């Protein structure tokens, strides 16, 4: 059995063999926006700072269509380029960038399977040189709202039997034992717990030790026994929508689920609102 959309993944040997290609752009997107990139990155890759570049600096929202076009132009990415995204933490934030870009209709974007971890483990080339890229123009599309869930939508549908919520946070976040992941101890909600009825399937269970994605059979065995099946609409959430982007990618592109949304307001929104229902063991 193969992935439903194997075209959204490339492996390290393909990237190595295509370094320097005029039709290729590579971008690193990391948990820490700059530290690892500055230590060494894939030759020719540009840096996308997820906090600054793909989030609005003032509003609690992702980057606007217009600002995304400016970003891509600055990074030398045109509509004719294939864009390869990779990063640390099993492509955690690279998947978040992938979701944002697909929301704006970016067509030829893929993930490097295994991300930064596998590239380094295979002793493939790294550089500290920051590439000089020519500016381009990029035309994004209007947002695809079918890929995104907002608070009002989740409020109306979280008890709908035809829909299933997947909480991809750690078990301790899901139960409310802790209010934020260890990586972000000060960025938490007022209350702990989870959205009533949500299934807890931590995002990183979808990857192998080397950072590559598990097989389709292994992924089906991870989600289907918990009722996360392709006949339902799936809404994934976490704390701010980045870890859930990873699960959204797995369900939509690797397993081919037809209707998957990312609730990027996630727990920092739901867990802070007055009279919003929560569940705790």
**Which residues does the annotation mark as catalytic?**
238
- How far is it, in rounded angstroms, from Cα 66 to Cα 73? 11
Strands of the 163-167 sheet, one edge to the other = 199-200, 163-167, 233-237, 260-262
Closest to 28 (Cα-Cα) out of 104, 83, 100, 102? 83
- How far is it, in rounded angstroms, from Cα 268 to Cα 181? 12
Find where tokens 């998947």 sit. 95
- How far is it, in rounded angstroms, from Cα 130 to Cα 132? 7
Beta pairing, strands 163-167 & 109-112: unpaired
Phi-psi region at 89: left, alpha or beta (left = phi > 0; alpha = psi -120 to 50)? left
CA distances from 63 to 82, 253, 254 (A): 21, 23, 26
Name the strand (E) or helix (H) holding 19: none
CA distances from 159 to 153, 162, 184 (A): 11, 9, 30
């Amino acid at each position: 059995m193969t992935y439903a959309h194997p075209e959204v993944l490339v492996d390290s040997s393909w990237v190595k063999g295509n370094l320097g290609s005029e039709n290729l752009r590579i971008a690193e997107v990391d948990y820490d926006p700059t530290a690892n990139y500055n230590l060494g990155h894939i030759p020719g890759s540009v840096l996308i700072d997820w906090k600054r570049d793909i989030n609005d600096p003032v509003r609690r929202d992702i980057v606007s269509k217009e600002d995304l076009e400016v970003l891509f132009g600055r990074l030398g990415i045109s509509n004719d380029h294939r864009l390869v995204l990779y990063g640390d933490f099993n492509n955690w934030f690279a998947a978040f960038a992938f979701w944002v870009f697909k929301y704006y209709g970016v067509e030829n974007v893929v993930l490097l399977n295994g991300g930064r971890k596998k590239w380094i483990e295979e002793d493939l080339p790294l550089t500290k040189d920051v590439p000089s890229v020519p500016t381009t123009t990029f035309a994004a599309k209007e947002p695809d709202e079918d890929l995104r869930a907002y608070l009002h939508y989740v409020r109306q549908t979280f008890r709908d039997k035809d829909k299933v919520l997947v909480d991809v946070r750690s078990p301790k976040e899901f139960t409310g034992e802790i209010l934020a992941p260890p990586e972000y101890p000060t960025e938490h909600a007022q209350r702990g717990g989870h959205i009533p009825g949500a299934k807890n399937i931590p995002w990183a269970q979808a990857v192998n030790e080397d950072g590559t994605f598990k097989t389709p059979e292994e992924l089906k065995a991870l989600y289907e026994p918990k009722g996360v099946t392709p006949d339902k609409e799936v809404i994934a959430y976490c704390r701010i929508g980045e870890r859930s982007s990873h699960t959204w990618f797995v369900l939509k592109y690797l397993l081919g689920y037809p209707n998957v949304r990312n609730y990027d307001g996630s727990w920092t929104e739901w867990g802070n609102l007055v009279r919003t229902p929560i569940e705790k063991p």
